Amino acid sequence: MEQLKGKKIVLGITGSIAAYKAAVITRLLIKAGAEVQVVITPSGKEFITPVTLSALTGKPVISEFFTANSGSWNSHVDLGLWADALLIAPATAATIAKMVNGVADNMLITTYLSCKAPVFVAPAMDLDMFAHPSTQCNIALLQSYGNQIIEPAVGELASHLQGKGRMEEPEKIVEILNARFGQQESLSKKKILITAGPTYEKIDPVRFIGNYSSGKMGYALAEECVARGAEVVLVSGPVNLAVSHPRICRVNVESAMEMYEATMAHFDTVDAAFCTAAVADYRPGDYSEHKIKREDKTEFTLSLLANPDIAAALGARKKKGQIVAGFALESDAGIVQAQEKMRKKKFDFIVLNTLQDEGAGFKTDTNKITIVEQEGEKTSFTLKSKREVAVDIINCLVKYL
């Protein structure tokens, strides 16, 4: 647990029977050398007393915005800036819903909204509450915001039923935090280029050729890279996503030609590049400056020209020490197709996903991948959120760098 030494952890505790485990989490964090500040919701105090937690941390437990009688203010902003990580364990369905919607009615939620550090959420609730579509939707949204969900275990619950919803054990939770801190500086002083999203190829001022790429995978990779200390150049096609990290330089483009030019302009200065974008293979040969009228035409012929192959251009241009990785979205013979694409484009490794896997590919918040490497090694992963998939992919990049 050496990665936790000296780290500042805000431990959020909510109103769940699993709150008793928070005392064990606190003890383990302190033993590992971390400094812990507990923030507990009013209902959390019904399950575990602040006296116990204060004795373990050596700090007063924070619950209210103002200290009783003295009128002194507990600053959620200061807490958010102080923390190296925010861990909410246990996290109830109500707290998760408040986090998703920004319902800042207690000290813990305001601290969460002010937190600049990584956030870890360990849900704890009955199996039907956890499985309910509203809870699952909220958890997916939390993940899309960049929070890490520590999946609950299957076991006996407070209702005496058996199922998924039991908060993960304290030892495992602390291991996850320790591993995450170990990853944080793995890309320090590295610069990564990522292409993301679709490209739009204009036919006329109102029509274009495009695809269904949402850009979510590329953006998740960008967030993971900066979380590990890297600088990122994100060349993005038109997507409905935002980035706010100061180490992500976003370059907005629309067409494949614009993406090619922007990518080539930055490639020589980076240590690695991910070709994540779904770049259109072709563009209209004749662009109409005016909207094309139908005028009762029963046929319309569109002449197409090939766009430059950005991935192949990077593979051919890379220098010794530079790493280039790509993606392959296939519908059949996935491994064979991915290996051939990797060879042709001179990728160091390639990430395969297939349209045959439910929950993978375009428009989803999840992905199921296989990483294929030059030496023939193939590593397959289960269906995960794209944020979690990004961790697996960057772990592979770190091995090469």
Q: Just list the catalytic residues.
A: 211
Q: What are residue 91's phi and psi, to 5 degrees?
A: -115, 115
CA distance 181 to 170: 17
DSSP secondary structure string, 93-140?
HHHHHHHHHT---SHHHHHHHH--S-EEEEE---HHHHHSHHHHHHHH
Pair of tokens at residue 215: 């850009």
Contact 257, 217 (CB under 8 A): no
Contact 329, 275 (CB under 8 A): no
- The encoded tokens of residue 208 equal 């274009």
Enclosing H/E stretch for 385: strand 384-385
Q: What is the CA radius of gyration of the chain?
A: 24
Is residue 386 packed enough to be buried (19+ CB in 10 Å), middle (13-18) or exposed (0-12)?
A: buried
For the stretch 67-92, what's the b/e string if a residue is b when 16 or more beta carbons lie within 10 angstroms of its beta carbon? eeeeeeebbbeebbebbbbbbbbbbb
φ, ψ at 81 (rounded to 5°)? -80, -30
Cα 122 to Cα 237: distance, rounded to the nearest angstrom = 34
How long a stretch of residues is the chain? 401
- Residue 349, H or E segment: strand 349-354
Beta-strand ranges (E) seen in 63-127 are 85-91, 119-123
Q: Helix or strand or coil: residue 176?
A: helix
* Residue written as token pair 């200061």: 78
Question: What φ, ψ does residue 188 adopt, rounded to 5°?
Answer: -60, 135
Specify the DSSP class assigned to residue 292. Answer: P
